[in-house]
C-alpha cells in the first residue's frame, strides 16, 4: 500500500478487524434467509457489533477524537477538530438479502474537511483508501477516475429512493432525473451501496454517480476517494457540499457538468 501514514494504518486495521466478524455474520445470512423469522434482527445486531468494534479500535488509537456514527449518533471527543464518520454496514439491504456488495466506511474529518477515507467490502476483500493530497488506492494499486468524455459512452450509478426514503415529490424528482440520464448514457447501475458506488467512480468502473437524500456516513469516505482519484464531487444541484445537503453528483472531470445538467 502506498499510503503509509499512521492514521490510514489505524483506519485500515480497524476496518479489517471489523470485516473479519462481518464476514462470519454474512456466512450466516444464507441460512437465516430461509428461516421463518428471517435475518432482520440478526443483521441489526451485526450492524451494532461492527460499529462497536470500529469505535473500540479507533478510540484505542486516537482516544481524543469524536464520532459521527450511523447507529450510535454523535459522540463528542475532547479534540473538537477531529471526528470519525462511520457506517458499519453500508448497503444493509444487500447484506440482509445475502448479496455480497456491502461495505464498512470510515472517514476522518478535520474541521470541515475529510482528510482520510477507507471503504472495505468484506465479501470481496476490496479495500479502497485515500488521504488528502496523497491519492486514492484499491488494495495496493493507485486508482483514477475514468477518461471517458462522451455521455453516450458513460455508465452512471445511482440509488433509487425506496419507501420511507424521500417523499412523493422526491420520488417524482428522481424519476425525472432517471428519464434524462437513461436517454443520454450507455447505462445506469443501481448496486445498493453508496460508498462503493463512489469507490467505483474513483476506480473508473463507473463514470459518474448521483443520489438524493444520503447521510454523511454513506458518502464521507467515498467523496475523498473520488477527489483523490481526480474526479469532481458536489451537491447534485449546486457547487455546495453534498455532506451538508445529502444530494450528491460525482463524476470524472469531463462528465461532471454534463451529469449535473441532466439531473438539474
Binding site residues, ligand IPD, CB under 6 A: 70, 87, 90-92, 159, 165, 192-194, 211, 214, 218
Q: Which residue is nearest to ligand IPD (CB)?
A: 159
Question: Dmax over Cα atoms in the chain, in whole Å?
Answer: 51
Q: Output the smallest distance, CB 157 to ligand IPD, in A.
A: 9
For ligand IPD, which is the closer residue by CB, 90 or 131? 90
* Residue 201 contacts residue 209 (beta carbons within 8 Å): yes
- Of 48 and 61, which has the nearer Cβ to ligand IPD? 48
Minimum CB distance to ligand IPD smaller for 39 or for 91: 91
The residue among 91 and 242 lying less far from ligand IPD, judged by its C-beta, is: 91
Tell me whether residue 135 or residue 213 sits nearer to ligand IPD (CB atom): 213
Transcribe the chain into DSSP letters: -----HHHHHHHHHHHHHHHHHHHHHHHHHHHHTSSS-SHHHHHHHHHHHHHHHHHHHHHH-TT-EEEETTTEEE--SSTTEEEEEEEEESHHHHHTT-S--EEEEEEEETTEEEEEEEEETTTTEEEEEETTTEEEETTEEE-------GGG-EEEE----TTSS-HHHHHHHHHHHHHHHHHSSEEE--S-HHHHHHHHHTTSSSEEEESS--HHHHHHHHHHHHHTT-EEEESSSSS-HHHHS-EEEE-TTTHHHHHHHH-
Residue 3 or 233: the one with the smaller Cβ distance to ligand IPD is 233
Q: Shortest approach of ligand IPD to residue 90 CB, angstroms?
A: 4
The distance of closest approach from Cβ of residue 91 to ligand IPD in the complex, given in angstroms and rounded to an integer, is: 5
Closest distance of CB 226 from ligand IPD, Å: 15
Supply the minimum distance, in Å, between the C-beta of residue 182 and ligand IPD: 17
| Residue 159 C-beta: closest distance to ligand IPD, Å | 3
Amino acid at each position: 500500500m502506498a499510503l503509509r501514514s499512521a492514521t490510514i494504518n489505524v483506519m485500515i486495521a480497524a476496518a479489517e478487524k471489523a470485516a473479519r466478524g462481518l464476514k462470519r455474520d454474512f456466512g450466516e445470512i444464507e441460512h437465516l434467509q430461509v428461516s421463518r423469522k428471517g435475518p432482520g434482527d440478526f443483521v441489526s445486531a451485526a450492524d451494532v457489533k461492527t460499529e462497536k468494534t470500529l469505535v473500540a479500535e479507533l478510540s484505542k488509537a486516537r482516544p481524543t477524537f469524536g464520532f459521527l456514527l450511523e447507529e450510535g449518533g454523535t459522540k463528542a471527543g475532547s479534540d473538537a477538530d477531529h471526528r470519525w464518520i462511520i457506517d458499519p454496514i453500508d448497503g444493509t439491504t444487500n447484506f440482509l438479502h445475502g448479496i455480497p456488495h456491502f461495505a464498512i466506511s470510515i472517514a476522518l474529518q478535520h474541521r470541515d474537511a475529510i482528510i482520510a477515507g477507507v471503504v472495505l467490502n468484506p465479501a470481496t476483500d476490496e479495500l479502497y483508501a485515500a488521504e488528502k493530497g496523497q491519492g486514492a488506492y484499491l488494495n495496493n494499486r493507485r486508482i483514477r477516475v475514468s477518461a471517458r468524455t462522451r455521455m453516450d459512452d458513460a455508465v452512471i450509478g445511482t440509488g433509487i429512493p425506496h419507501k420511507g426514503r424521500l417523499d412523493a415529490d422526491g420520488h417524482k424528482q428522481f424519476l425525472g432525473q432517471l428519464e434524462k440520464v437513461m436517454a443520454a448514457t450507455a447505462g445506469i447501475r443501481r448496486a445498493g451501496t453508496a460508498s462503493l458506488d463512489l469507490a467505483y467512480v474513483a476506480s473508473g468502473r463507473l463514470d459518474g454517480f448521483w443520489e438524493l437524500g444520503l447521510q454523511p456516513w454513506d458518502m464521507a469516505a467515498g467523496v475523498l476517494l473520488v477527489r483523490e482519484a481526480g474526479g469532481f464531487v458536489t451537491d447534485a444541484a449546486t457547487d455546495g457540499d453534498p455532506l451538508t445537503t445529502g444530494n450528491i453528483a460525482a463524476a470524472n472531470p469531463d462528465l461532471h457538468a454534463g451529469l449535473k445538467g441532466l439531473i438539474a
